[in-house]
Structure 1
């Protein structure tokens, strides 16, 4: 039995088992300590629940990543078209460049080709996520196939040849990629609650031309009835991004970047418990060369750092680009060396 057990004497005096007199102060101290102890236990329980929830989310995401289609790429710089100059530039920076290829398996016109081509640059030095789109009609040299459109590289040799083409023509150090099926974009945008986009009247009219087709493909989409800064559903955002009539190809890639940037802003507002569902949606139609650890590290940094997203496109006004018909095919033709310098300045913020 404990020394703290209390016994009453015949005269009413109370004693502990050890013979010491039990005072009211002792009783008060005991009650006060019990209160503190309860508070500590409660805090420990809450912490345990939070840690268990976080661990559950982590385990779920790790499991989802394990289901993602993986593609192994060559590991040497020459095989990926990375020059010694590009490798040295990357080594002296805190930037990771990743190729993003957007494909749409539901669009017969784009089977096997990258419908969208972007460079995702994770700039830890400046706390920025940089998104650069390259017009898919850009006239470049593709190893083994001569001069052609840059998006043909993906059709000819998959992500490996597409990455090599980017590196050789723009003097970059891309070593990894992510390919996303844009057919999933509507579902993802709906999951985050839609995106706010500034839509002009011309863009509204053209986007509505895609609505019936999207509904036939099983993507519920209402017609866009307003202009200005409006909230678009997933289907409406996809219709907006598919617009090939308003402006040039650079205007189209600008709309695609606008959608991705707006979606990124919405993702940052999500509760941590919503991340597993989002990750599952994205990964179900994606493939990559990135490891689980790299994806988790980049994702954690992007959310925790509060990084801002900035955008660029090639060609831009400084490239002197022009549309030319070559052997009966329309291309975007511009000085690739000049474009590479513009791209390096944007990505690395070189002095």
Structure 2
């Protein structure tokens, strides 16, 4: 009797899980044409490569919310953060690489400019093509999230614990934090990854905070206390599917793979850079260290661990 009851419960849980999987898949918003082929596109390579983008879209935010979150009223839409995640085929850990938004790159058909200008000029499709062109890495999946979705996801999991390395006071980002471990709300987390305060190289520190936060929020979202509790799992699923946009070929199974990779404590770094370059479209931009950057991206293309000296440089 007990065995039969347990078997019945397991069947119900399995059916519920399958139902939830297809429900999530049906809610994902796909963007057509993001990963279309073009002449000279880098070929597919072992492993899976994701381009993860945080945009500064204010879509879904009221005037009061924009004021509370200190997002400003900028028109249009730009990329606030960009990361390239490589998930290897073998047992090596995934690699998460920050691509500084102010990187000096050649945008196809547009010339030299900052990397985030590619999105402003041609949306996700031109951004993907630019990243593939300058890195030589074939992008398999694309995911984007705006300000409003960012806040909703963090609040849906009950906040995220972050070890703040130095006290932060940045009115422009609506942020004031003490040093040390603490649980950040959605609005605090948004300010934390956006602030340019702290460190000798503010943008470098900013990319480190973004990678730190992304790992923390995925770890929290994947924890049993969240996933096995319907009062948190369902709001999280609704917030996540409302918040993100993906390429039209990305579904729930791909998102599960992404979550598992991020929960596997990926190796994190930033593209090695040194010095500045003046670009016609936006003044001073960050110049990559060409030799080290090529070594980094070649390792990803060959599905090999990134050399330690390259990681140390980032």
Q: Normalising to structure 2: TM-score of the pair?
A: 0.79
Asked whether 1:147 is paired with 2:112, we answer yes
How far off is 1:103 after superposition?
0.7
2 CA distance for matches of 1:238 and 1:305?
19
5+ residue gaps, structure 2: 59-70, 308-314
1:309-348 map, 5 Å: 309-314=266-271, 316=272, 319=273, 321-326=274-279, 329-345=283-299, 348=303
Contact 2:104 2:113 in 1 (8 A): yes
Aligned to 2:23: 60
Say if 2:112 and 2:279, in contact at 8 Å, map to a contact too.
no
Query: Match of 2:173?
Result: 210
Q: What CA distance in whole angstroms lies between the structure 1 residues aligned with 2:5 and 2:244?
A: 43
CA RMSD of aligned residues (A): 2.8
Q: Distance in 1 between matches of 2:277 and 2:258?
A: 42
For 2:37, which of 59, 62, 76 is the aligned residue? 76
Q: Partner residue of 2:247?
A: 289
2:227 corresponding residue in structure 1: 271
d(CA) in 2 for partners of 1:110, 1:102: 16
Structure 1 unaligned blocks of 5 or more: 1-37, 213-222
1:262 aligns with 2:216: yes
Alignment of 1:101 onto 2:53? yes
Contact 1:71 1:288 in 2 (8 A): no
**TM-superposed deviation, 1:70:** 2.5
Residues paired across the two proteins, number: 285
The answer to whether the Cα contact below 8 Å between 2:35 and 2:139 also exists between their aligned partners in 1 is no
Partner of 2:179: 227
Q: Is the 8 A contact 1:163 1:175 kept in 2?
A: no
Compared CA separation, residues 229 and 306, structure 1 to 2 (3 A): closer
Is the radius of gyration larger for structure 1 or structure 2?
A: 1
Structure with the larger RCO, 1 or 2 (CA within 8 Å, 6+ apart): 2
| Structure 2 counterparts to residues 16-55 of structure 1, below 5 A | 38-55=1-18
